[in-house]
């Protein structure tokens, strides 16, 4: 039987706490670097050599994984059990890229595998017709730009993935429709995007699972009104907008849309990049085949995540080491540091994925827990980060575990040699140097120039950031966050913590309803 219990009740956790703490400095050797990689799918590998985990600690983490039944719990998700306990929902994002267990998952009287396959077929059909010019704008011009309107999971993942594949598409000769994104309710966000767009050749994708999100509906109205009032002859804004939403949302009934694509309540916003939420924009921008490759990479990693041996399951190992760093070493944050400009928005996506999933203070039964849960996530692409916050990472008084990501090849294929090396080589020389610098540190008589070292890091690496690699990278982090949620006995699939601010914002818009404090702040701004 599968049991869900809080961390404090696990025997393996008490044992692990007694294990000798290790210094990265003492553990890290060239052999350890060579022998500490795990395949992730999509040609990627996860290397944990520079983490403070000895053989004994790894055995303790394996024992914890077994005792907490992490793989069995993953199988419960895959088989369609109600794992979103707060909202009483299934958690089916894995099924959007493939059926890992191969068994039927049914809900609401339908085969969910078939439902997602049907949605994919409609995305394929529509995106091909737009890309080959069969479906045109209202004034007869072919679409050249797609602009997604959405926020949170309806923006961050899709935007990060779109940006991640731009250079790959150009370098591989894949036809691209330009992608733009409007998310913030700040009118300057929409204004700056609209000012660059040609309305006649732009297709908007309105994305909201709930169909009730204030920012997204406001931006929809703003876009429709602005474009409708431009006086372009024959221009019909509703022939320039498609919707991605759930069947139960108010948007699903909007018949003015050129087309609608559906998700269901079993795909959480931050886990929705591989559903129609990411699929429509990515298939329009880069073609359905590219999106399918991304799904295949994610599916490969989902299958690899089933292994019980932590030394062969990268997502599980990453989750367990992250747990060790948080709950035994006591580190409060994690930095995501991709040495790839293409991944410039990937840390922002992981902020939502990780912090909205595991930034929780109650367990799956709604009871308060007494141990730390998800860390603060932040990051920037290297080498830009090096010239910014790395000072604190190297010499600050807090230790921040680091997650590096790097690729041997660039995407555009436009690299040249200067000063004796290619830019890509310089980029990766910096990455290799940083890992060693953080781990080993440097002695110096002058304390200001001394580096303590012992800064733990991991590295995800591969040949090139392709759609398959990107899918595997995405799934790796989704599965890591899922495993950590199991360890902490959290419901990683709801987000009650974002509600209070939304309610109070509505109250402010309604005149503050006698709330003096709220009114005092509102008066400073409105």
Q: HSE of 330 in the Cβ direction (CA atoms, 13 Å)?
A: 3
What residues does 243 pair with on adjacent strands? 206, 260
Q: Can residue 260 be called a binding residue for ligand F6P (CB under 6 A)?
A: no
Q: Say if residues 123 and 276 touch (Cβ distance below 8 Å).
A: yes
Q: Can residue 297 be called a binding residue for ligand F6P (CB under 6 A)?
A: no
247 is catalytic: no
- Cβ proximity to ligand F6P, 174 vs 185, nearer residue: 185
Q: Can residue 270 be called a binding residue for ligand F6P (CB under 6 A)?
A: yes
The bridge status of strand 44-47 relative to strand 457-462 is antiparallel
Task: Report the nearest approach of ligand F6P to the CB of residue 484 (Å).
Answer: 18
Q: Can residue 213 be called a binding residue for ligand F6P (CB under 6 A)?
A: yes
Catalytic residue among 11, 34, 308, 387: 387
Q: Can residue 36 be called a binding residue for ligand F6P (CB under 6 A)?
A: no
Q: Can residue 216 be called a binding residue for ligand F6P (CB under 6 A)?
A: yes
**Quick one: how far is CA 505 from the chain centroid?**
27
- Cβ proximity to ligand F6P, 210 vs 424, nearer residue: 210
What gap in Å lies between CA 315 and CA 248, rounded to an integer?
33
Helices (H) and strands (E) in the chain, counts: 19, 17
Catalytic residue among 308, 361, 502, 506: 502
Task: Report the nearest approach of ligand F6P to the CB of residue 83 (Å).
Answer: 16
Q: Can residue 93 be called a binding residue for ligand F6P (CB under 6 A)?
A: no
Question: Among residues 115, 118, 121, 141, which one has the least CA distance to residue 130?
Answer: 141
**One residue of 97, 209, 326, 455 binding ligand F6P per CB under 6 A:** 209
Q: Can residue 210 be called a binding residue for ligand F6P (CB under 6 A)?
A: yes
User: How would DSSP label each residue in 261-278?
Assistant: EEE-TTS-GGG-TTSHHH
239 is catalytic: no
Residue 358 three-state SS: helix
What gap in Å lies between CA 457 and CA 441, rounded to an integer?
13
Window contacting ligand F6P (CB under 6 A); options: 80-88, 106-114, 145-153, 229-237: 145-153
Q: Which residue has the tokens 């303590």?
A: 452
- Cβ proximity to ligand F6P, 166 vs 270, nearer residue: 270
Task: Report the nearest approach of ligand F6P to the CB of residue 495 (Å).
Answer: 5
Q: Can residue 485 be called a binding residue for ligand F6P (CB under 6 A)?
A: no
The H or E element that residue 181 is part of is strand 178-182
Task: Report the nearest approach of ligand F6P to the CB of residue 155 (Å).
Answer: 8
The H or E element that residue 401 is part of is none
Q: Can residue 80 be called a binding residue for ligand F6P (CB under 6 A)?
A: no
Length of the chain: 526
Question: Among residues 157, 60, 186, which one has the least CA distance to residue 356?
Answer: 157
Helix pair 288-304, 112-131: axis angle to 10 deg: 150
Task: Report the nearest approach of ligand F6P to the CB of residue 7 (Å).
Answer: 25
502 is catalytic: yes
Q: Can residue 345 be called a binding residue for ligand F6P (CB under 6 A)?
A: no
Catalytic residue among 300, 356, 380, 468: 356
Report the site for ligand F6P in 168-207 (rule: CB under 6 A).
none
- Outline where 338-466 has alpha helix (H): 346-350, 357-358, 390-395, 423-440
Strands (E), 15-69: 37-41, 44-47
Q: Please give the residue whose beta carbon sits closest to ligand F6P in the complex.
A: 269
Q: Can residue 2 be called a binding residue for ligand F6P (CB under 6 A)?
A: no
Q: Which residues are catalytic?
A: 356, 387, 502
Residues of this chain that bind ligand F6P (CB under 6 A): 151-154, 208-210, 213, 216, 269-270, 356, 495, 498
């Amino acid at each position: 039987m599968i049991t869900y219990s809080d961390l404090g009740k696990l025997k393996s956790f008490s044992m692990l706490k007694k294990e000798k703490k290790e210094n990265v400095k003492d553990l890290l050797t060239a052999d350890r670097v060579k022998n500490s990689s795990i395949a992730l799918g999509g040609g990627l590998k996860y290397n944990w050599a520079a983490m403070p985990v000895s053989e004994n600690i790894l055995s303790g983490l394996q024992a914890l994984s077994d005792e907490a039944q992490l793989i069995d719990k993953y199988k419960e998700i895959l088989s369609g059990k109600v794992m979103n306990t707060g909202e009483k929902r299934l958690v089916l994002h894995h099924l959007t890229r493939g059926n890992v267990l191969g068994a039927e998952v049914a809900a609401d009287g339908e085969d969910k595998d078939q439902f997602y396959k049907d949605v994919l077929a409609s995305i394929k059909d529509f995106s091909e017709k737009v890309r080959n010019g069969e479906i045109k704008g209202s004034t007869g011009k072919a679409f050249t730009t797609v602009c997604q309107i959405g926020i949170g999971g309806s923006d961050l993942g899709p935007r990060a993935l779109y940006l991640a594949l731009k250079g790959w598409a150009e370098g591989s000769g894949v036809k691209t429709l330009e992608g733009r994104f409007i998310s913030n309710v700040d009118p300057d966000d929409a204004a700056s995007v609209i000012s660059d767009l040609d309305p006649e050749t732009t297709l908007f994708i309105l994305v909201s699972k709930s169909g009730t999100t204030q920012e997204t509906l406001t931006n929809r109205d703003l876009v429709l009104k602005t474009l409708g009032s431009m006086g372009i002859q024959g221009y019909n804004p509703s022939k320039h907008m498609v919707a991605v939403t759930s069947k139960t949302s108010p948007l699903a009934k909007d018949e003015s849309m050129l087309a609608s694509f559906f998700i269901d309540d079993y795909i959480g916003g931050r886990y929705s990049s591989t559903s129609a939420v990411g699929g429509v924009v990515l298939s329009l921008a880069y073609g359905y085949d590219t999106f399918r490759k991304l799904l295949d990479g994610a599916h490969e990693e989902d299958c690899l995540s089933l292994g019980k041996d932590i030394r062969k399951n990268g997502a599980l190992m990453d989750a367990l080491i992250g747990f060790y760093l948080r709950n035994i070493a006591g580190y409060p944050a994690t930095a995501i540091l991709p040495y790839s400009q293409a991944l410039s928005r990937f840390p922002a996506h992981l902020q939502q994925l990780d912090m909205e999933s595991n930034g929780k203070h109650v367990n799956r039964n709604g009871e308060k827990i007494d141990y730390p849960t998800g860390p603060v996530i932040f990051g920037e692409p290297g080498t830009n980060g090096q010239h910014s916050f790395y000072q604190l990472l190297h010499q600050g008084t807090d230790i921040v575990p680091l997650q590096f990501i790097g690729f041997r090849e660039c995407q555009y294929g436009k690299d040249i040699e200067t000063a004796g090396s290619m830019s890509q080589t310089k980029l990766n020389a910096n990455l290799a140097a940083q890992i060693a610098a953080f781990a080993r540190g440097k002695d110096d008589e002058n304390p200001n120039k001394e580096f303590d070292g012992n800064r733990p890091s991991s590295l995800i690496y591969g040949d090139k950031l392709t759609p398959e690699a990107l899918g595997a990278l995405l799934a790796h982090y989704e599965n890591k966050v899922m495993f950590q949620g199991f360890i902490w006995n959290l419901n990683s699939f709801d987000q009650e913590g974002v509600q209070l601010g939304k309610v109070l914002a509505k109250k402010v818009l309604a005149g503050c309803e006698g709330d003096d404090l709220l009114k005092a702040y509102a008066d400073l701004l409105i």
